[in-house]
Amino acid sequence: MIFFAGATLLVDQLTKVIVEHTFPEGEVRNVIPGFFSLVHVRNRGGAFGFLSGLNEDHLTLFFLGISVLVLCVIFYLYKKMGAGKPWVAAALAMIFGGASGNLIDRLRFREVIDFLDFHVGPLHWPAFNVADSAISIGTVILLYHLVMKKI
């Protein structure tokens, strides 16, 4: 678990540092025109800007508390059901590494750096980052194993 969580955290933080130091905030760079861009946006809220309109101090405390709680739950789940199940351990590690990456952003900036931006015509997915991707992929793998493999 430590390797995957650490690798996820490292890639997440390195990509955010690169974006932070090479893109002015708000800049958009088209990679695949009409489909994929790199952007530099700051997200004070949760996924899709959830709760971003709340008071900054309350929002920061809320997301810091949720992040610590999630990390504790993931660690507990790993100890309870991840040992000896490599896919479950990897999924939990991805979630743990992603949650850690976004927690570091919230501690440093009181917001999260997002930079991956997908769109097709008028359809636009909100920008996200490596941590969000790892959390999503890890959750899908974990749910698959919970439902199909009945861990």
Transcribe 51-105 into DSSP letters.
TTTS-HHHHHHHHHHHHHHHHHHHHHHIIIIITT-HHHHHHHHHHHHHHHHHHHH
β-pair type (112-120, 123-124): antiparallel
Task: Supply the mean pLDDT for the chain.
Answer: 89
Model-level pTM? Answer: 0.87
Kindly report the CA angle at 65 between 59 and 70, in degrees rounded to 5?
Answer: 125
Number of domains in the chain: 1
Q: Whole domain around residue 50: which residue ranges?
A: 2-147
Kindly report the CA angle at 118 between 115 and 119, in degrees rounded to 5?
Answer: 135
Where does the pLDDT of residue 27 fall: very low under 50, low under 70, confident under 90, or very high at 90 and above?
very high
Lowest mean pLDDT among 2-16, 41-55, 99-113: 41-55
Instruction: Name the nearest CA neighbour of 99 among 40, 139, 145, 127.
Output: 139
Where does the pLDDT of residue 51 fall: very low under 50, low under 70, confident under 90, or very high at 90 and above?
low
Task: State the catalytic residues.
Answer: 114, 132
What is the token pair recorded at 77? 């789940």
